[in-house]
Amino acid sequence: MAKYKNSTSIEKIMEEYLKTPEDIKAYLNAALELYIEEGDFNAFYRSLEYVVKAQGTLSEFANKTGLSRTNLYNIFQSKKEPKIQTVAKILKELGFSLMVA
């Protein structure tokens, strides 16, 4: 796949969009609602990845959470389905919690 000289990666766009806790919360809530409506949990994993990468590197985040970088990568690439406790740990490190409303 050829790279375009004036193109911007989705990660860069998301980094610009996900600056405030309010932006991040709205984005994650929308991704979770989409999962509930359409059943695409992989999209929710991807949204977590964008949020994590907007905060810094995957390695830094892995160190903060005590999760392995490989484990996070496999979750975000839909190669592994995480346990609910792992999702809760990721959300907690991002400053959020998982609750039923």
Break the chain into its structural domains and give their ranges.
10-93
- Residue 14 clears pLDDT 90, i.e. is over it: no
89 C-beta neighbours (distance < 10 Å), count: 16
* Mean pLDDT confidence for 80-99: 89
Q: What is the pLDDT of residues 16-69, one digit of tens each?
A: 778 888 999 999 998 888 888 998 888 888 899 999 988 889 999 999 999 999
Assessment of whether the complete model's pTM goes beyond 0.85: no
Q: Helix 58-65 to helix 69-76 angle, to the nearest 10 degrees? A: 110
For 7, 32, 63, 79, 95, the CA distances from 98, given in Å and listed in that order, are 35, 10, 21, 22, 11
